[in-house]
Amino acid sequence: MAHRILIVEDHTLLREGLRAMFASVSGFEVAGEARDGREALLRAMDLKPDLITMDLSLPDMSGIEATREIKRRHPEIRVLALTVQKSEEYVREALKAGADGYVLKDASYEELVAAIHQVLAGKLFLSSEVKGQVVSRYLTGGSAARPASHWERLTDRERSIAKLVA
């Protein structure tokens, strides 16, 4: 039985590329696609995929907000953040929202497929570059001693407004 995947990506070319890539992998089936966070939420409720590849920078509702809401309603759905965002802040927020993995868009085909298999197996996956940053920060004690940034202290709604203003 194939694992059903929902692709959430606002760029059409990337969405089509991911669809074609997943179609070539045995055991994967694209259940559907969404262009923004709100559509992702609706499609996740309707389709109940096994896994969602979630872009974090989406119009209308961010991928982090969509992940939080999807995981609240359907914790069994696995979410793999697929993003260009490399900062520790994005990684932390995505994981806090319930993402089961974090892969950068410049990852190789092999790394993305490995990430999907690992997340579907119930394990956490972090891109090698992200993992290096997290481990480095942990070893230097930076994340435990660092006070919350101004951005971290904002609510989701305040962040949305700040993004719109910017």
DSSP E strand boundaries for the chain? 3-8, 28-34, 51-54, 78-83, 101-104, 125-126
The 10s digit of each residue's pLDDT in 105-159 is 999 999 999 999 999 999 999 998 777 666 666 666 664 445 566 777 777 888 8
| Sheet containing strand 28-34, strands side by side | 28-34, 3-8, 51-54, 78-83, 101-104, 125-126
Structure tokens at 55: 């872009």
| Least confident among 71-75, 95-99, 111-115, 124-128 | 124-128
Q: Is the distance from CB of 113 to CB of 85 less than 8 angstroms?
A: no
- Residue 29's pLDDT band, with cuts at 50, 70 and 90, is very high
What b/e readout covers 42-55, taking b as 16+ CB neighbours within 10 angstroms? ebbeebebbbbbbb
What pLDDT does residue 144 have?
Answer: 47
d(CA 95, CA 102): 8
> Locate tokens 């609240």: which residue?
72
What pLDDT does residue 124 have?
Answer: 94
| Least confident among 10-24, 84-98, 126-140 | 126-140
pLDDT at 43 over 70: yes
Task: Work out whether strand 125-126 and strand 3-8 pair parallel, antiparallel, or are unpaired.
Answer: unpaired
**Burial class for 84, CB neighbours closer than 10 Å (0-12, 13-18, 19+):** exposed
